[in-house]
Structure 1
């Protein structure tokens, strides 16, 4: 059967720095060789030792198998590596998503990362990570494809902002760290993604854009300067590395005209070198564009393995085998790839001989073919195991505590209203069920919005709508309840809300998602910042009649509320985010005061679209070549840009109201005893060769196994198609032949390498986390209701090119009783006070005067103190 099986050789002259470009386009400098694992990095020592013990037993073919996906729909999961069954390693299972287990039944639909971040609660972020990890583990998943720090949210219209946490790198960094710790505590490897500059859906993949009719041949290039990269977009990824994350996913886009998954500057220099990342880097699905060129640039695993879905062709697989045998790629690089994968495996406590995944991504049927695309291997593929546990309670709590009260003229909390009129499609169900979008992956905007669309989703086991939850509550109180769930039923809506004594709640939403799904002409990214389904007109219609109108918004980010937010008849505005399966229950908890709202908006609500200063690049701007997206605003996104331009937001970053009141007092600054910052010096060890005894140069050792071999169609194998000669093994009729690939200077060097000054430990130089100051303040509940409060610490770095203030710390102080005072405390580290110096490639604390502020939002800063 193997006679019809071919693999391309795609090791052409396509090293990352050689991308065809005009002289004025951004450029990503080369950095080689790819750093190898270090045995004594804090937190990785035991994992390294275990990995070395098992990798040293692997043959070349087994190492290649571990680094190569088997192909789309080849096994149970959205991504599977080849296994090493001889040593008890089954095919590793990689599965979406950052808010639950995608493509599986009997799992939970968690709140989005953005909604979880709106709680500003480290504990809830951690608990959410634990619960998601437990569900992935229960389904047999080894590697969860989340959490998300890219996109960070440069443009509010970007389709996948809701998958991440916040536009602020510190809040996002905390979200990343706590989620990673939670996921990995459950025995599942977490994946920090998408690395890096993946800030819009338009043009992220040339092929996807071509499908929408755009004439481009290369994917978009996010052009980011070094200072902006470090001070903004890299910050939360550094927190991920420091938290011990096992995996990174490189993104679809180019960065400075080099594809992220073959960008040696980003993967070798920044991630593995400067940040000291010891885990492995996988490609986003089909984001790999070269073979050895991507491997020596730092890529450790190709996903899902094939060059195009279900082609049977791979950049790795047998091509990687050939590359080692003909000397194109050094053996140490393959060893390092396998070591990084297995060290991550051991770091989270995964064992050998793990049970197979008990679900199939490709069918809900109990019995189907295990190799779905090939339709081979009939067996039981779904065991329908319920992994939800008691997670509904946590989902409800996060949904409620992530709800932000934006306006309240005393109409909330509700107190047994006699007559509640609920208006809007967003309050009700999708008529085809909570998972009934025809496009799949929630690719529609029908009924209440509880998560966006795309691969960052999971199926709902149920969805509690606001309509059902509110009706149940009103009826239990003996009230009257009516709802109209058609946004365009104007006559009926007007008749209902003008009735005497009616309290009206209007629901509206705004959706977005991943670029492979087009919803109402929105190609992932939103076309505008208005509410969907006539939402703005619906709100104005009801408010024009009813003098007690409450507005509830479910959205993927900010929307423009300028035309109606200050209407005198609108007595309250609530942002409920994307709350997951317990949506209605979470909302009722807040509206009725069972949960005193303390959610804070994780982004700014601007008066106009233009007030953000950034936007999506909707049309190609470089002919048929790669669209060029220049990040000319630098670090000035969201609230930083509003501050820079003195623009007044409707609701600023970090804002949120409560049913009680708080006062702030007595800021105190204590100086720490940190030592002087010392750049890292010295050299690494030389590249280790692990298990060289298992390295054979006999070509027949790399042939498909003799005898009965159950070849699976389009499955990616490490075996050679021809063992006549390496030249014959390197040929493919479609791609021609290339026995040896051109590689840049130093790409295969194995000698000791100089350490980078900003390196030295997970996340960077350990001295960056020295505490320079501790800031405390007192927060007193001056109202009559117990509640949580979220004091926030902002820092003015003082330089002419610095933002006015940047977030540097926060804490959700829980259950402060009336009259009670709680203490807020933040340790300011050297990193918090530092800027990036592009010349020395290191962090430094400038001589500009620095001021610390404590308050309740980025604009409501009650207290301040100067740092000496």
Structure 2
């Protein structure tokens, strides 16, 4: 194909200039060569409509230029995805930023802030604010920084309903509920595109797990569920925000890959939802040329396998019509004109670090959710507390997501940082105890009944400190001289997208150094690397222990020279345990672990291995004993525990990793004034919750997490977050339809239908531990005097109805409550037992009261009739409930739908 693009220089003359030294790369504005296109070209007339401008430009394009516009130029610029400009016609570049909680580093560098950006709280935390206005604040920061880092397209937000609590990407999305999801997504998209950045809503559609995501994963789902649950946010963003772009997902939907699925792309997205923007692919999610363009995929990004030369050949061979190419090009051009890409400057500029950091803090303060507060234990009285113990290895760094959502922060404030600041202000001493080990990607495969062997019971061959001596070899059989020898805290080997290689990835959101990929070891995934861990294991108590090897590849574990675990000879994820091993307290046992990455799980996960154990109940590792000592010597203990979550991998279990449960129980046993902070996006189980007086859900808090947590802990701010997802009691108490993705079945049947999340708990008669919508305050509210409009028309006439209640703050301090309106089943139609129909977040001063009005419209009382391809509003009476969560409804009324 004839080259028609400049791969490095943008429309505004932007390019990356190389310099000397680690910090020498800067973004520099240069003078571009004159383009044939100019302001006088007819498509540059801003008085014309976007459609008119797009048609005029299309008429000037050659076939090669049209195909080029549809084909990405991965690696040609510092961006997640990139389309180079077509300078002959003045068509700008499309530089696309990986983003939801901020702009991910992909090689762009600014003079003052290098490759950092504001790390906002995770999207799930944003949804926990239950505040569309906060979504605007949040999106404004992300969109501004998209432009400030030179991007025209934001690959976000995510809008996948979080139906599966094992999902590694749950925290990237907003909610398990379509109403709340839409309420957050719409203002997010509006704000992004108001700043002349194209929002790319993802991942379309029914994408709910990582396992098998690039292969045979097949979501089996009925059309009504697709329309009412999984495409609801897309419909809202199209209708209310003029959504510019959609990303088709990795999975199949009812047997057909998303990017070539005519039913979901043409029939639903285009015809039913009225989408006028363009569809681009996720990285490698496209599997065909003809089928994809026929179905409506307009732009291949990340790869160049099925468009580019392949598409041009298909057109020249008559397999693809020029009309289909023109259709795709018009969609891309029209969107670029409509959102202002041709008419605005995207030259990189400085980030307002403090201003944007302040927004990150405000959002997180509004997100933090008080799950439990007996006593009440919170807020802490800063004038009466002389000493505080902060416990948890990850309390020293703000929690963050892995994968493409990770943002290198402009600065960061951990919980420990913020508590030490507060201690200096109040005169309280702050003790820190590590307690456990920092999380990392390998912890995602910890099993429910075991935990990673803690570093504090391991000793390297020589020297001081915890851990084992690790020797890495650039071959599969531990031969020759090792390429690297170093001490590792734990046996937690992880290379690939999550663990640190290839270069696109890093050990996102973790303070553990990445597993190395040695020079000369060959490309990741070919098995040409092995590692041998050696040292001693010191039993903390006398009793029976079980060692476990889990991961993929081949591994053997030796204790005092005896092979106790043999994880060899089988592909896929394995979980192999030793027989019970009788160990004596304080005795050192020679430990040798050999691992080789000979059996990659998938291409992006060539090698992952974790050494686990189960220990006697009284086996307290030294790190936990240190935490107990610190807690016992303090007035208050704050325990910080978290998960590690990432794109490309699901959780094997729903527990908190790294010995979290033992740590929490031990600390609260030493100090009953213990507060637990949980940083997680997945639906983690908390079997220890009844033992502690106070629990805060922090989600993944962004770079200002520490300050936000301190302001809630000490009562500077009232906790106003409410859960956007349900948290189960146990893995045995999940609603119908939820299955662990690691069960090795690529066919994922959405047997729950409409009953996703809290709807499923209610329909199954299963109680969650903490329900959707739950969130406590430091004050007390009373909701009463429900009045509901009596009538709404099924067709024509009155199409809205109000629900009104009185909200009173009867406590002694200001606070915020979320009033939630749920509807019961629709008359004569199989429907969820409850569904959220509206909500209002209200701030009230102590003793104040306010009438709260929430408007419901006809669609809330309708269902999608797949046979008729239309919304139908059944006639009859519909229950209306007002409450504080999906299981805490206090008031009831009804609306009669009339013909």
If the TM-score is normalised by the length of the shorter chain, which range does it land in?
A: 0.7 to 0.9
Relative to 1, partners in 2 of residues 1:344 and 1:414: Cα closer, same or farther, differing over 3 Å? same
**Equivalent position SS for 1:819:** coil
**Contact 1:138-1:387 within 8 A present in 2 as well:** no
Q: How does 1:10-21 map to 2 (within 5 A)?
A: none
* Aligned position for 1:10: none
Q: What CA distance in whole angstroms lies between the structure 2 residues aligned with 1:64 and 1:502?
A: 67
Q: How does 1:46-125 map to 2 (within 5 A)?
A: 46-70=49-73, 72-103=74-105, 104=108, 105-125=115-135
Q: Note if 1:170 corresponds to 2:179.
A: yes
Shift of 1:660: 0.5
Q: What CA distance in whole angstroms lies between the structure 2 residues aligned with 1:657 and 1:257?
A: 44
* Aligned position for 1:490: 624
* Aligned position for 1:805: 834
Shift of 1:800: 6.1
Q: What CA distance in whole angstroms lies between the structure 1 residues aligned with 2:379 and 2:78?
A: 47
* Aligned position for 1:594: 716
Q: Note if 1:234 corresponds to 2:244.
A: no
Q: What CA distance in whole angstroms lies between the structure 2 residues aligned with 1:46 and 1:663?
A: 52
Q: Note if 1:660 corresponds to 2:625.
A: no
Q: What CA distance in whole angstroms lies between the structure 2 residues aligned with 1:593 and 1:398?
A: 16
* Aligned position for 1:363: none
**Deviations along 1:739-787, whole A, 9 cap, x unmatched?**
xxxxxxxxxxxxxxxxxxxxxxxxxxxx9xx843121211111111011
Q: What CA distance in whole angstroms lies between the structure 1 residues aligned with 2:350 and 2:96?
A: 18
**Equivalent position SS for 2:717:** coil
Shift of 1:355: 4.8
* Aligned position for 1:153: 162
* Aligned position for 2:577: none
Q: Note if 1:395 corresponds to 2:404.
A: no
Shift of 1:634: 1.0
Q: What CA distance in whole angstroms lies between the structure 2 residues aligned with 1:404 and 1:161?
A: 17
* Aligned position for 2:244: 246
**Equivalent position SS for 2:762:** helix
Q: TM-score, normalized by length of structure 2?
A: 0.70
Relative to 1, partners in 2 of residues 1:419 and 1:355: Cα closer, same or farther, differing over 3 Å? closer
**Contact 2:284-2:302 within 8 A present in 1 as well:** yes
**Deviations along 1:676-728, whole A, 9 cap, x unmatched?**
26xxxxxxxxxxxxxxxxxxxxxxxxxxxxxxxxxxxxxxxxxxxxxxxxxxx
Pick aligned residue for 1:509 from 642, 648, 653? 642
**Contact 2:55-2:330 within 8 A present in 1 as well:** yes
**Equivalent position SS for 1:62:** helix
Q: How does 1:274-293 map to 2 (within 5 A)?
A: 274-293=272-291
Shift of 1:337: 1.1
Shift of 1:597: 0.6
* Aligned position for 1:141: 151
**Contact 1:774-1:827 within 8 A present in 2 as well:** yes
* Aligned position for 1:821: 849
**Equivalent position SS for 1:170:** helix
**Contact 1:601-1:654 within 8 A present in 2 as well:** yes
Shift of 1:75: 2.4
Q: Which has the higher contact order (CA 8 A, sep 6+)?
A: 1
* Aligned position for 1:423: 391
Q: What CA distance in whole angstroms lies between the structure 2 residues aligned with 1:149 and 1:638?
A: 15
* Aligned position for 1:544: 669
Pick aligned residue for 2:217 from 216, 220, 238? 220
**Deviations along 1:59-115, whole A, 9 cap, x unmatched?**
222221111112x31222121124221222232111201111111514111111100
Q: What CA distance in whole angstroms lies between the structure 1 residues aligned with 2:297 and 2:646?
A: 27
Q: What CA distance in whole angstroms lies between the structure 2 residues aligned with 1:292 and 1:671?
A: 53
Pick aligned residue for 1:643 from 745, 758, 762? 762
Shift of 1:849: 2.5
**Equivalent position SS for 1:807:** strand
**Contact 1:88-1:352 within 8 A present in 2 as well:** no
Q: What CA distance in whole angstroms lies between the structure 2 residues aligned with 1:230 and 1:861?
A: 27
Q: What CA distance in whole angstroms lies between the structure 1 residues aligned with 2:821 and 2:245?
A: 31
* Aligned position for 2:340: 349
Q: What CA distance in whole angstroms lies between the structure 1 residues aligned with 2:344 and 2:99?
A: 24
**Contact 1:89-1:352 within 8 A present in 2 as well:** no
**Equivalent position SS for 2:133:** helix
Q: How does 1:281-430 map to 2 (within 5 A)?
A: 281-307=279-305, 315-352=306-343, 354-355=345-346, 358=348, 385-386=350-351, 388=353, 390-409=355-374, 410-416=376-382, 417-429=385-397
**Deviations along 1:576-596, whole A, 9 cap, x unmatched?**
111100010010111111110
Q: Extract unaligned runs of 5+ from structure 2.
A: 4-46, 109-114, 437-620
**Contact 1:67-1:82 within 8 A present in 2 as well:** no
**Contact 1:279-1:344 within 8 A present in 2 as well:** yes
Relative to 1, partners in 2 of residues 1:66 and 1:388: Cα closer, same or farther, differing over 3 Å? farther
Relative to 1, partners in 2 of residues 1:68 and 1:477: Cα closer, same or farther, differing over 3 Å? same
Judge which range, 132-141 or 796-805, deviates more. 796-805
**Deviations along 1:771-825, whole A, 9 cap, x unmatched?**
43121211111111011111111111345621211001111112x1112112222
Relative to 1, partners in 2 of residues 1:491 and 1:854: Cα closer, same or farther, differing over 3 Å? same
Pick aligned residue for 2:806 from 768, 778, 788? 778
**Contact 2:879-2:893 within 8 A present in 1 as well:** yes
Q: How does 1:417-816 map to 2 (within 5 A)?
A: 417-429=385-397, 448-449=398-399, 451-487=400-436, 488=621, 489-499=623-633, 502-515=635-648, 524-562=649-687, 564-567=688-691, 570-613=692-735, 614-621=738-745, 627-670=746-789, 676=795, 771-798=799-826, 799=828, 801-814=830-843, 816=844
Q: What CA distance in whole angstroms lies between the structure 1 residues aligned with 2:185 and 2:278?
A: 17
Q: CA RMSD for the aligned pairs?
A: 2.1
Q: Extract unaligned runs of 5+ from structure 1.
A: 4-43, 207-218, 308-314, 359-383, 430-447, 516-523, 622-626, 678-766
Relative to 1, partners in 2 of residues 1:865 and 1:675: Cα closer, same or farther, differing over 3 Å? closer
Relative to 1, partners in 2 of residues 1:660 and 1:174: Cα closer, same or farther, differing over 3 Å? same
Q: What CA distance in whole angstroms lies between the structure 1 residues aligned with 2:125 and 2:343?
A: 36
Relative to 1, partners in 2 of residues 1:138 and 1:512: Cα closer, same or farther, differing over 3 Å? same
Q: What CA distance in whole angstroms lies between the structure 2 residues aligned with 1:45 and 1:279?
A: 18
**Contact 2:126-2:363 within 8 A present in 1 as well:** yes
* Aligned position for 1:842: 870
**Contact 1:288-1:302 within 8 A present in 2 as well:** yes
Shift of 1:196: 0.7
**Deviations along 1:496-518, whole A, 9 cap, x unmatched?**
2222x521111111121111xxx
Q: What CA distance in whole angstroms lies between the structure 2 residues aligned with 1:299 and 1:788?
A: 44
Q: What CA distance in whole angstroms lies between the structure 2 residues aligned with 1:267 and 1:92?
A: 22
Q: What CA distance in whole angstroms lies between the structure 2 residues aligned with 1:97 and 1:79?
A: 12
Q: As a proportion of its length, which structure holds more strand?
A: 2
**Deviations along 1:605-637, whole A, 9 cap, x unmatched?**
21111322312331434xxxxx21111121222
**Equivalent position SS for 2:341:** coil
**Contact 2:123-2:173 within 8 A present in 1 as well:** yes
Q: How does 1:166-205 map to 2 (within 5 A)?
A: 166-205=175-214
Shift of 1:354: 4.3
Relative to 1, partners in 2 of residues 1:497 and 1:354: Cα closer, same or farther, differing over 3 Å? closer
Shift of 1:51: 2.2
Q: What CA distance in whole angstroms lies between the structure 1 residues aligned with 2:640 and 2:676?
A: 6
Q: What CA distance in whole angstroms lies between the structure 2 residues aligned with 1:332 and 1:676?
A: 39
**Equivalent position SS for 2:60:** coil
